[in-house]
Amino acid sequence: MAKDYVALGTKIVEKLGGAENITKIFHCSTRLRVQLASREKADLEAVKSVAGVMGAVEAAGGIQVIIGNDVPKVYEAITAKYNLEKNEAIKEKLDEAEEKKGIVSVVLNVLAAIIGPAIPLIMCSGLISALLVIMVHLGLDAESSTYAIISMVGNGALYFLPVLLSYTAAKKFNCDVIISAFLGALLISPTLLGFAEAGGYISLFGLPVKAVNYSSTVIPVILTIWVFGYVQKLVDKIVPAAVKYVFRPLLCVVIMVPVMLCVTGPIGSYCGDLLSMMMGGINNAAPWASVLVAGCLAPLLVLTGMHLAMLPLVMGMFATVGFDNMLFPAFIGMNFSQFGIALACMLKTKNKNLRTLASSCALTAFLAGVTEPTLYGICIRMKRPLAATWIACIVNAVFCAIAGIKVFSFGAPSFFTMPIFMNPDGTMGNFYLAIVAAGLTIVTAFAATWILGFDDSVYGENV
C-alpha cells in the first residue's frame, strides 16, 4: 500500500507546533531538519510516535525528524501544503530564534544547512574519481581524452565547491542567489588562480590581496556570503527603487569584491590553514590518534548531526595532503556496523514488523552507507543494539589506527563506494585493509547484537 506522504507530513507539522512555528525546513538523505520559532510548542515525543517516523532528536539548533529514504517525498509534501519556502514572514523569525541558541549550536546548524545539500553531489564526484582508478587498472590510458574528461567530472564538485556553497549559503542567509553565485565563481576564476600559483600578495587599488587558490575551500565562501547578507540589506536601503534593477547588483559587487578578496577570503583561508596545520601536527606526531578519536565518537557525531561540521576539515585534508585518514576510515565502523546489527536483528527476531524493518535497514546501510534508518529505527528504540554499535566502531577505529587506512576520494563507506580506498598510485594494500576493516566491523556488530540481545516488543505484536 502506497504511503500517504501528505498525511505523514501533516502529522509531523502538527506535533512540531504547526506551520507558523516552523522558521526553516530542509532535509538531508534521511532526515527532515527543522528550525522552530518556539521549541516549547513542539512535542518531541509525539513526533517520535507518528507512524512513519523512525525517531526525532534535538540537535544543532533545531529538530531532526528521521524519516528514512522517503524523506524527500515527505519534505515536498510539507513544503507544498504549507508553502514554507515562500513564506518570508516565517523566514524573518529565523535570526531571532537562532540568537537564543548557543554559539556552538548556531555554527553547527549553519554548517549543516550549507554543506548538507551539496554532499550527495560531492560524493558522486568522489565515487567517479574512485571508479577512474579502477578503469586505469583495467587498461584506460591515463593520457587519453577519455581519462581527462572523467577526471574533470570526478574533481568537479570539489573544484567548484565555492560556487555550490555560495548557492546554499545564499539560501541560508537569505541573500541574492545570483550575486552570491557570482562571488563564489570569482573565487575560482582563472585570473585569481594564476595569481595563486605565483604566490605571495597582490593589490587592489593599493589594498593587499592574499593570492590563494580557493577551489575546494569551505570557510572563505561561507564568511563572504554571510557578510554579503548584511551588505545587501544596506544596499537595499540606500538604492532608490527606480534604479534598483541596475545599481543594486552593481553596488553589491563593488562593495563585496574588495571585502571578499581582502578580508573574508583571507580570514577563511587562514582558518582552513590552521585546521590543516592542527591535523597535520596530530598526524605527524601520532597518525593513529585522529581516527581513533573519530571512531570512538562516530555514533555520537551521527546522533547529533555533528559529523557534517567535520566536513570542512576533511575537505581541507583532501585539498592539502590528498587523502583523509580520520573521518571516513572511522565511518567504516559506523556504516558497516549498522548492516551487521540489522542483519542480526533480521535473523534473530520472530517479530515480523522488526524483520521487515531490519531487512530494509540492512540493505540501505550496506549498499549506500546510510545509517540513520538502523540507528534510529533499531538501535535507539531497543537500546542494546546501540551498545553493539559503539563496540563495533571502537574495534574498527583501533584496526584503522594500527593499519593506517586512508580514503582517497570523498564518499561515505559502503559496498558501492569501496573504491574510494584505492590508492591512485596503483597499490592495492590500503584497499584490501579497508575490506578487512569492513568485514571485521560487520562480524563484531553482528556478534555483539546477537550476544547482547534486544527487546523487540517495541515493534508491536508478532503479526
What CATH number does residue 45 fall under? 3.30.1360.60
Same domain, 220 and 344: no
Question: 153 lies in a domain?
Answer: no
Predicted confidence at residue 104, as pLDDT, reads: 59
pTM of the model: 0.64
pLDDT for 306: 65
Tell me if 143 is assigned to some domain. no
Q: In the numeric block, which cell numbers belong to residue 113?
A: 544547512
Look at residues 101, 118, 150 and tell me which one is the last residue of a structural domain: 101
What does the block give as the cell for 190? 582563472
Residue 137 lies in a domain: no
Give the contacts of 88 (CB within 8 A, at least 6 positions apart). Answer: none
- The per-residue pLDDT for 2 is 54
In the numeric block, the cell 578580508 is attached to 263
User: Are 308 and 455 in the same domain?
Assistant: yes
Task: Give the pLDDT band (50/70/90) at residue 225.
Answer: very high
For residues 373, 400, 293 and 342, what is the CA-based torsion angle, rounded to 10 degrees? 20
- Residues 423-444 as b/e (b if ≥16 CB within 10 A, e otherwise) read eeeeeeebbebbeebbebbbeb
In this structure, is residue 151 part of a structural domain? no
Res 263 pLDDT > 60: yes
pLDDT for the residue numbered 91: 41
In the numeric block, which cell numbers belong to residue 371? 545509517
Is the same domain home to 295 and 419? Answer: yes
Half-sphere exposure of 240 (CA within 13 A, CB side): 2
Examine the pLDDT at 90 and tell me if it is beyond 60: no
**What was the pLDDT predicted at 59?**
66
| pLDDT value, residue 333 | 94
CA distance 93 to 116: 22
Percent of the chain clearing pLDDT 90 (strictly above): 33
Give dist(CA 327, CA 23) in Å, integer: 31
* pLDDT over 90 at 123, yes or no: no
Rounded CA-CA distance 358/332 in Å is: 19
Which helix (H) or strand (E) is 65 found in, with range?
A: strand 62-66
Question: Do 164 and 86 share a structural domain?
Answer: no
DSSP class per residue in 353-394: HHHHHHHHHHHIIIII---HHHIIIIIHHHSHHHHHHHHHHH
d(CA 192, CA 168): 23
Residue 281 forms part of a structural domain: no
C-alpha cell at 160: 567548484
Could you give the percent of the chain with pLDDT greater than 70? Answer: 88
Would you say residue 99 has pLDDT above 60?
no
Residue 77, all three cell numbers? 509534501
Higher-confidence residue of 193 and 320: namely 193
CA dihedral 16, 104, 158, 66 (to 10 degrees): -30
- Do 241 and 293 share a domain, yes or no? no
Q: Are residues 174 and 308 in the same domain?
A: no
Q: What would the pLDDT profile of 320-364 be if each residue is shown by its tens digit?
A: 778 888 889 999 999 999 999 999 999 999 998 889 889 888 988
Distances (CA, A) of 38 to 12, 19, 65, 123, 182: 15, 12, 16, 35, 35
**pLDDT score at 131:** 82
Residue 113 resides in a domain:
no
Q: Is residue 111 part of a domain?
A: no
- pLDDT attached to residue 39: 84
The three cell numbers locating residue 155: 574533481
- The pLDDT confidence band at residue 411, using thresholds 50, 70 and 90, is confident
Residues 170 and 316 in one domain: no
Q: Are residues 443 and 333 in the same domain?
A: yes
Residue 126: closest CA among 421, 367, 403, 370: 421
- What's the DSSP call for residue 260? I
Residue 96 has pLDDT above 80, yes or no: no
92 phi/psi in degrees, rounded to 5: -65, -20
Backbone angles phi and psi of 43, in degrees to 5? -110, 100
- Model pLDDT, residue 128: 84
**Given this model, what pLDDT does residue 93 score?**
42
User: Residues 259, 315: one domain?
Assistant: no
Q: How far is CA 215 from CA 86, 112, 324, 338, in A?
A: 32, 20, 17, 34
Integer Rg of the chain from CA: 23
Ranges 10-19, 182-191, 314-323, 449-458: which has the least confidence? 314-323
The whole domain housing 76 covers: 5-101
Structural contact between residues 418 and 435, judged by C-beta atoms closer than 8 angstroms:
yes
Tell me if 80 sits within 8 A of 86, measured CB to CB. Answer: no
Cell reading at 287:
597518525
Between helices 161-173 and 177-186, what is the axis angle to 10°?
A: 150
* DSSP string across 185-214: HHTT-HHHHHHHHH-SEEEETTEEEE----
Number of domains in the chain: 3
Question: Is the residue at 145 inside a domain?
Answer: no
Compare 52 and 427 and report the one with higher pLDDT: 427
Residues 30 and 166 in one domain: no
Residues 171, 32, single domain; the answer is no
For residues 329 and 255, membership in a common domain is answered with no
